[in-house]
């Protein structure tokens, strides 16, 4: 029996996934969480064999949770952005699939991942091949990540341990590199490419 942990911030989707996967003879859903932090804590208590995580759960994302888990992880997402697949694989994720995957196919992917194999949706893999190299420095990505969270300059400075003027400089450089008009457009462009 494969003990499964599910994490998705959308209650309806998580519940439907749990109900459908519980119908499989060899899969048992042993825990459900609405975010990555809860999933990591729950994994310590329920001892799952595999986790299926939504890529885009607040706070952070499924990749951040996957980095903390010691079990195979399958990420599900609506949006396969270039760069995200590379980050996910670098974090040890074993499966990467769209949320449109039928439950029976997801069950088979869970079995494959539990058996030590990897599974990457072929469309996601092809899309990842179009990935452009990231022109942003790690610090530029840090300030854009905080910008995407809606933080003002002073909060970004405090969160990144930088002076407000330095944050402005990093944002200006990122805006120029991404050929956009403002910091919010830069954060959106970096997110769409999977760089943050």
pLDDT of residue 131: 65
pLDDT of residue 82: 67
> Given its phi and psi angles, is residue 144 left (phi above 0), alpha (psi -120 to 50 degrees) or beta?
alpha
pLDDT of residue 113: 98
Q: What is the domain partition of the chain in residue ranges?
A: 2-129, 138-193
Q: Write out pLDDT tens, residues 18-63.
A: 999 999 999 999 999 999 999 999 999 999 999 999 998 877 689 9
3-state helix, strand, coil in the chain (%, to 5): 50, 15, 35
Encoded tokens for 165: 């003027």
Q: Write out pLDDT tens, residues 171-184.
A: 999 999 999 999 99
> Which stretches does DSSP call E strand in the chain?
2-7, 27-33, 50-54, 73-77, 95-98, 119-120
CATH code of 2-129, in short, is: 3.40.50.2300
Please state, in angstroms and rounded to a whole number, the distance separating the CA atoms of residues 135 and 182: 17
Q: Write out pLDDT tens, residues 79-132.
A: 777 678 888 888 899 999 999 999 999 999 999 999 999 999 988 887 776 667
pLDDT of residue 191: 84
Q: DSSP letter string over 153-184?
A: HHHHHHHHT--HHHHHHHHHHHHHHHT-SSHH
Pick the CATH number of 138-193 from 1.10.620.20, 1.10.10.10, 1.10.760.10, 1.20.120.1690: 1.10.10.10
Is the model's pTM score more than 0.85?
no
Q: Write out pLDDT tens, residues 122-145.
A: 888 877 766 678 899 999 999 999
């Amino acid at each position: 029996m494969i003990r499964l942990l599910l994490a998705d911030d959308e209650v309806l989707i998580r519940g439907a996934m749990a109900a459908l996967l519980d119908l499989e003879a060899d899969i048992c859903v042993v825990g459900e969480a609405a975010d990555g932090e809860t999933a990591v804590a729950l994994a310590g208590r329920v001892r799952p064999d595999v986790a299926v995580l939504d890529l885009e759960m607040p706070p952070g994302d499924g990749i951040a949770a996957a980095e903390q888990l010691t079990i195979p992880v399958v990420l599900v997402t609506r949006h396969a952005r270039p760069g995200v697949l590379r980050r996910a694989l670098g974090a040890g994720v074993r499966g990467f699939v769209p949320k449109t995957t039928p439950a029976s196919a997801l069950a088979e992917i869970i079995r494959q991942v539990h058996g030590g194999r990897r599974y990457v949706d072929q469309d996601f893999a092809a899309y990842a091949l179009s990935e452009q190299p990231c022109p942003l420095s790690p610090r530029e990505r840090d300030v854009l990540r905080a910008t995407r969270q809606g933080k003002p300059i002073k909060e970004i400075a405090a969160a990144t341990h930088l002076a407000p003027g330095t944050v402005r400089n990093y944002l200006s450089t990122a805006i120029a590199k991404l050929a956009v008009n403002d910091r919010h457009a830069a954060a959106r462009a970096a997110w769409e490419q999977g760089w943050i």
